[in-house]
Amino acid sequence: MFNPLFEIERSVRQVPASFGRQELLNDPEWEVGFAASLRESQPREELLSLFARFRTSESAFDATMRRVLLRALCKRVGSDLKVGPDVVLKHTETMEFGDCVFIGAQAIIQGRFDGTCRIGSHVWIGPQAYFDARSLILEDYVGWGPGAKVLGSVHTGIPSGQPIITTDLVIKPVTVGAGADIGMNASILPGVHIGAHSIIGAGAVVTHDVPEYAIVAGVPARVIRDRREN
């Protein structure tokens, strides 16, 4: 007799990680030189306009141009940056990317003219992610699930008689430790530190610091267990 549950279980496979284990490919010298030339010869407005021209296509040429232009626009870009189509970056002059970073389609990174945005090496950012990157650090080997969000600022709401959106903005640093994994559609609120090698469950709303190696889930998120426990 056909058993659909048995068939589903039998189809489950475990395969080696691909992105996390891939070797770094150094960018060719002509790309690095081209980016340096663009940075020196073109105003930022023109570079941003060029980036918009190559922003939407999935072709290899357009992907290469996105990497070249971000190297010219950002504070620092390492080798092997991959930027999907329709990615939006604001205040690129404050952004630093390590080696072997992937940014999925339609992700948004919103910086600030006097802010800090540092994304380490071997970081994978899923499609439709959102970063309030006014004061944000993602350390190496962070996995960021599709649709996951981080908020780095909040309005004071004082005085109470004013519309909240007109009150002062408080910027609180957010840091995500090395090797942490942020689940799909999770939300990290201002001022939170995510410990290294921790797991944030899908859809979790993280309002407080997360210890290293912790698994947290829920709304608001709470610690379920330590990954080092058998």
Assess whether pLDDT exceeds 70 at residue 2. no
> pTM score, two decimals?
0.91
Listed residue (126, 131, 125, 85) closest to 112, CA to CA: 131
Assess whether pLDDT exceeds 70 at residue 9. no
Backbone angles phi, psi at 146, to 5 degrees: -55, 135
pLDDT digits (tens, 9 = 90+) for 162-192: 999 999 999 999 999 999 999 999 999 999 9
pLDDT digits (tens, 9 = 90+) for 44-103: 999 999 999 999 999 999 999 999 999 999 999 999 999 999 999 999 999 999 999 999
pLDDT digits (tens, 9 = 90+) for 103-150: 999 999 999 999 999 999 999 999 999 999 999 999 999 999 999 999
Backbone angles phi, psi at 26, to 5 degrees: -70, 135
Rg for the chain, CA atoms, rounded: 20
pLDDT reported for residue 117: 97
Distance in angstroms (rounded) separating the CA atoms of residues 115 and 133:
8
Assess whether pLDDT exceeds 70 at residue 1. no
Give the pair of three-digit tokens for residue 132. 């309030």
